[in-house]
Amino acid sequence: MVDLKGFMDYTSDDLRDGLTEGYYLLEVTEANGAEWDDGSPRIDFRTRVAEGAATGKFGPMHTITYGAAGGVTADGREWSVSEEESRVRLVKIVNAITDDNQLVLTNQNEFDRTMMDEIADQIKGRQFVALVSENDKGYDVIRRFNSVSKPPKKYQPTISAGSNFAV
């Protein structure tokens, strides 16, 4: 006989299947271009762990947004991101995911939904090294993006991933 827990008996620790903080080789499993309500373009993508003890586990989802933004945090601090800062962040993240390989873009100067769709199509299946940690709400998030060819010194690839790295 098996003792089953009721729905409300599960604690957050019981439900947590996240990753411990550290560097992981992640693979983009799904990516889509989209827009926010204000029309700002973005790329939403999902990842999974591609090597190591956690191989196959879901990695963090991530959104890369293009456009100026600003607001006030829950504790009352104002924040803002300029369009140029947003553009630089987008290019850095995409370059890390694609290992600095050139993308094929219809118009490389027009940061719009079409570009986000084209980027999303080309990052599917790509692998990159990421620092993953838990945010204050308990979700795994990607804190840093690194290309496979230039992993951080703290990252230790497993033997099975050796063919993916020039160490």
2-6, 46-50, 101-105, 106-110: least confidently modelled range: 2-6
Taking CA 155 as the corner, what is the angle to CA 154 and CA 159, rounded to the nearest 5 degrees?
Answer: 135
- Tell which wins on pLDDT, 45 or 139: 45
In this predicted model, what pLDDT tens digit does every residue of 131-159 receive, in sequence order? 999 888 888 999 999 999 999 999 988 75
In this predicted model, what pLDDT tens digit does every residue of 84-99 receive, in sequence order? 999 999 999 999 999 9
* Pairwise CA distance, residues 48 & 54, whole Å: 9
pLDDT of residue 157: 81
Domain locations along the chain: 20-156
pLDDT of residue 81: 93
Q: What is the pTM of this model?
A: 0.82
* pLDDT(63) > 80: yes
CATH topology classification for 20-156: OB fold (Dihydrolipoamide Acetyltransferase, E2P) (2.40.50)
The mean per-residue pLDDT over the stretch 90-116 comes to 94
